[in-house]
Amino acid sequence: MKLENAVVLVTGANRGLGLAFAKEALARGARKVYAAARNPDSITLDGVIPVKLDVTNAADVARVVAECPDLTLLINNAGIAETGSMLTEEAEVMLRRQMETNVYGPLRLSQGFAPVLASNGGGGIINVLSIASWITGPLLATYAATKSAAWSMTNAIRQELAAQHTQVLGLHVGFIDTDLTKDLDVPKVSAEQVVSATFNGLAQGADQVLADEPTQMIHQALSSAPQVYLHALPEH
């Protein structure tokens, strides 16, 4: 799927990676870009249409689906990350909170927009995942669990929407150089590099994009046939 003349919705578009997605969509010729955030007043990018959206609110999602009948590309970018291990007292609460944003939010939007995309020729969905879909540790244990769930969900949605010719792309990446990671002394990739790689992959018909070297290395180490998870379980 190409960006030229596309109608795009980016969640969490007020800063960081979401803002970079919105900018590049316009640069690549998108006809319309809906930029969604909990507070639409925080959307300051010229050329986009601010949209009020809390992805954890089912009523908000339903309203936005109704307001965007021309959509051809959904970018599920909004996400949260909380630090803490699985053995802390707060782990269950943190896990539930992050699941609402990182899994149930994209699920609601994908369910709502699936028939819209079908009526507009198929289109595409980009789900922002993570290197933490595959590896974890005490610092981001609950976050990693939600990204593993989001990865599995992405693979299932891809198979279910194949018949209506909707391209579903999972973006995996490590630390991105945004305000959210400014205090972390770790290797980072720029938001612009991630977005460029993602949109290039979308244009090439890819199922997934591995946007930085650490993610590529981990993916390569997963197994001798790392693409196997892109296919359905055998039915017999």
HEC per residue, 35-85? EEECCHHHCCCCCCEEEECCCCCHHHHHHHHHHCCCCCEEEECCCCCCCCC
Where do the DSSP E strands lie in the chain? Answer: 7-10, 32-37, 49-52, 73-76, 124-128, 167-172, 176-177, 189-190, 208-210
Question: Does a structural domain hold residue 28?
Answer: yes
Q: How far apart are CA 99 and CA 27, in angstroms?
A: 32
Residue 68 has pLDDT above 80, yes or no: yes
| Span 135-155, pLDDT tens digits | 999 989 999 999 999 999 999
| Span 154-176, pLDDT tens digits | 999 999 999 999 999 999 999 89
Q: How much is the pLDDT for 185?
A: 65
| Span 72-128, pLDDT tens digits | 999 999 999 999 999 999 999 999 999 999 999 999 999 999 999 999 999 999 999
Question: Does a structural domain hold residue 1?
Answer: no
| Span 177-235, pLDDT tens digits | 876 666 666 778 999 999 999 999 999 999 999 999 999 999 888 866 656 666 666 65
Q: How much is the pLDDT for 228?
A: 66
Q: How far apart are CA 129 and CA 204, in angstroms?
A: 19
Residue 51 has pLDDT above 70, yes or no: yes
Question: Does a structural domain hold residue 225?
Answer: yes
Question: Does a structural domain hold residue 2?
Answer: no
Buried b / exposed e over 33-59, threshold 16 CB at 10 Å, is bbbbbbeeeebeeeebebbbbbbbbee
Count up the domains in the chain and report the number.
Answer: 1
Q: Under 8 Å CB-to-CB from 112, ≥6 apart: which residues?
A: 61, 62, 64, 65
Question: Does a structural domain hold residue 106?
Answer: yes
| Segments forming the whole domain that contains residue 181 | 7-230
Question: Does a structural domain hold residue 144?
Answer: yes
Question: Does a structural domain hold residue 236?
Answer: no
CATH number at residue 169: 3.40.50.720
Q: Are 40 and 107 in contact (CB under 8 A)?
A: no
Q: How much is the pLDDT for 52?
A: 98
**Percent of the chain predicted with pLDDT > 90:** 85
